[in-house]
Structure 1
Amino acid sequence: MTQFVLVAGAWLAAPAWDEVVPALRAGGHGVHPLTLSGLGEKQARPVGPQTHVTDIVDEVERLDLRDVVLVGHSYSGIPVGQAAERIGDRLSRVVFVDASVPTAGESFVSAWWQGPAALQEVLDGNDGLWAPPAADEFDGQGLTDEQTARLLGGAVPHPGASLSDPAVLAGPLGELPATYVKCLLDGPEPSDDVARLLTGERWELVTMDTGHWPMFSRPDELAAVLDKAAAS
């Protein structure tokens, strides 16, 4: 039985996957949505270096999971990519859903598309937290008003310590068996670092005609993509 560990991106917790979980379980898979420290019901937990990576590894080991597909959305691709190395032969595949990917020594902040100073300034001006976006910032992402409201209803300020945490990798990320899911409404092409990884034999690209939050906008389609990735 494939065991999915699902990790949502910035601001979000385990309930972000509520509409994806039933379809995966109906397909006979084990499914384990995970809330990272500092978010959701774990908002009070402190976050420091490698905390989110440890959260993921500890969950896999605590549940003694095998044949694991780690799924990281958006920001969480960075800790998921690091955790994928650390769980060893428990890993079957890693799936990056419109996600950042880890680069050794780099962080989410250092790779920020507007420049690291821009995001760091936002964090410094908000007590080290990254506030969730306003509702209108989700326009053009394939979300209904109801879906946007549900997304924001589960969002909390994201701990900046995780965003500025440099990635630690033991080996080349391209050696992991991986699927990258590109959500086309958020940009038609993968970022340059992802494009390079996709030239390797162990990475595959899947596209979805929706926005950056497919667990809300296209949950059944995303579940089907994940099910197929597990069989790769």
Structure 2
Amino acid sequence: MTNFVLVAGAWLGAWAWDDVAAELRAAGHDVHPLTLTGLAERQGESAGQQTHVRDIVDEVERLDLRDVVLVGHSYAGVPVGQAAEQIGDRLTRLVFVDAIVPEDGESALSGWPSDEVRQAIAETGFWPPLTAEDCAGQGLTDEQIARFVTGSTPHPGATATEPAVLTGELGELPGTYVKCLLDGEEPWGAAAELLKSDRWKLVNMDTGHWPMFSQPRELARVLHESVTAP
């Protein structure tokens, strides 16, 4: 039985996967959405980058999960990629959903214009959530935007600024990269490099950066097919 461990990006918790999880369970999978330290119902708990890596590894080990598909969306690609190295042969596949691909020694904010975010983190200790206006053009209905904005919580800043720690090459692991086309037509940076590996597959979705809200059924299908398609 495949065990999907689902980790959403910045500001979000396990709740963001409710619709996707329901579809995956209906397809016969076991599903374990995870809230990282300091977010959603865990708001107020302090966290650094390695705290979030440990959250994921601990969940897999606590539940003694095997045949694990680790799914990281957006920011969560950084801790999920590191956790994938640490769970060894428990891992069946790594899936990045429009995610930041971790690089050893680099933070989640490396490689893109982030001065404003870094300043906010320096002043408050948190990466502030997006507004409804920030979500425009991402294929979301007004209701979906309201759900995203209402459910978001400030993101612990250190998790975004501290460096990732990798000991190997993620390209050596079996993986799928899901590119959401309304958020850019091509994977870039470390994601583009990763997809040069013959162990990785690119899947495009014609939606925005938060497909768990905009196209949950389609995203669940993509995840299902990542482990069932020949």
Relative to the length of structure 1, the TM-score reads: 0.96
Are positions 1:170 and 2:144 aligned together? no
Are positions 1:114 and 2:113 aligned together? yes
Higher deviation after alignment, 150-159 or 209-218: 150-159
Who is 1:73 aligned against?
73
1:159, CA displacement in angstroms?
A: 0.4
User: After the TM superposition, which residues 1-232 of structure 1 pair with which residues of structure 2 at under 5 Å, given as runs?
Assistant: 1-111=1-111, 113-115=112-114, 117-125=115-123, 127-231=124-228
Separation in 1, partners of 2:87, 2:8: 19
The unaligned stretches of length 5 or more in structure 2 are none
* Shift >3 Å, 4+ stretches: none
Relative to the length of structure 2, the TM-score reads: 0.97
Separation in 2, partners of 1:193, 1:124: 26
1:196-232 Cα shifts (integer Å, max 9, x gaps): 1111111110000000000000000000000001225
The one-letter amino acid paired with 2:191 is: V
1:164-198 Cα shifts (integer Å, max 9, x gaps): 12111110111111100000000101012211111
Separation in 2, partners of 1:26, 1:77: 25
The unaligned stretches of length 5 or more in structure 1 are none
Aligned length: 229
Q: How many percent of aligned residue pairs carry the same amino acid?
A: 64
1:119, CA displacement in angstroms?
A: 2.6
